[in-house]
Structure 1
């Protein structure tokens, strides 16, 4: 069945249809014919915008990382601790928001193939941005390079952990729930990284 009429462009309709079908019915089980029917276009029209299913999947995957990577490059704040928290919260919010849990697509075996090397590079760039911000905090500066790399891995994994929470609560999350989960995840990630509340806006100056 075609999606309800909207103001989306044909390309955006294809991506919206793919987001739904890939996450609800599975990537392997979704054909380009099903995508076309859901998007309300002819099957041949898909190939005007994308080379095929892999291209569509790559665009959906990259859309879950690109905004956070761009934000990481433009973050402004008084301290590295503040910038790190802002990135954590933005990233968690991006993964929580939207009608479909696109982060769950990270778990597809196809994502490990060469076709998706660009997406994997983007994720590594984002993780490196987390590492640089962590290194700039007082807690991160006190760590050895090996410990800092481990803390970065743990921090990054905790942020992406919202994907699993969404998987257990299907459907679109309410805006208030998204904000609550994003803030709680950011707080937990900073504690894991060793950043104390006293280094953040409104934090307790007496916190250990």
Structure 2
């Protein structure tokens, strides 16, 4: 979608927008979406309540933006990895590692926002579409790994392999692990998750080690993806 029209954003605009998003993430995660008011968000962010509406149309837009920021970096990386040549196991390892790392990092368990009951509403359809697109990328990479490891007959064309559900669930298990055990519990979890994903698909020993080494080299700088801006906030 095209970014909202209007005057160019100044540095102060960007700072205010970021502060509002950070405050909303903390409050939505700690006290819930329904119990959080725009007044409370503004108070925590240290801005006037009216400043929120300069950047966002309301609470729905704030939560929608936070949700999109959880999925878009991974979707962009998945698209890049699908276009890369070479070992599909290495590419899947890289996606699992990066995706799990983004869910584990940060001061707030922002992935947990995906599990808020309000997110089932129509207002968050765009997020669900993009998350489904990410799941489709996982399906494609899992299918490619299964073909490479077990032969072309292992996967039915046009049908998502059931193993893809388990791989996707392994990555998102970081959200629950962080909720129950805190940041310490997930500090080193991402490569373990990526290894487990490949074991599910039948890779072990040297095959797994080689895919891990090659996969780690595919994504040398995660920050450039994690900092990708989200413009669709209306």
CA distance in 2, matches of 1:55, 1:194: 42
User: 1:65 aligns to what SS in structure 2?
Assistant: helix
- The 8 Å contact of residues 21 and 30 in structure 1, kept in 2 or not, is answered as yes
> Which TM-score applies when normalising by structure 1?
0.85
The aligned counterpart of 1:52 is 58
- The 8 Å contact of residues 67 and 114 in structure 2, kept in 1 or not, is answered as yes
Higher RCO (C-alpha under 8 Å, 6+ residues apart): 2
CA distance in 2, matches of 1:195, 1:125: 26
For structure 1, list consecutive stretches of 5 or more residues without a partner in the other structure.
1-5
Structure 1 runs of 4+ off > 4 angstroms?
none
Determine if the alignment matches structure 1 residue 156 to structure 2 residue 195.
no
CA distance in 1, matches of 2:45, 2:144: 46
Determine if the alignment matches structure 1 residue 16 to structure 2 residue 26.
no
Deviation at 1:73, TM superposition (A): 1.2
- The 8 Å contact of residues 21 and 66 in structure 2, kept in 1 or not, is answered as yes
CA distance in 2, matches of 1:195, 1:150: 17
> Which TM-score applies when normalising by structure 2?
0.76
Aligned length: 195
Deviation at 1:169, TM superposition (A): 2.0
For structure 2, list consecutive stretches of 5 or more residues without a partner in the other structure.
1-11, 213-234
- CA separation of 1:202/1:35 partners in 2, compared to 1, >3 Å: closer, same or farther? same
Equivalent of 1:29 in 12, 18, 35: 35
* Worse-matched range after superposition: 17-26 or 90-99: 17-26
The aligned counterpart of 1:85 is 93
The aligned counterpart of 1:143 is 154
CA distance in 2, matches of 1:46, 1:93: 30
- CA separation of 1:115/1:191 partners in 2, compared to 1, >3 Å: closer, same or farther? same
- The 8 Å contact of residues 197 and 203 in structure 1, kept in 2 or not, is answered as no
The aligned counterpart of 1:103 is 111
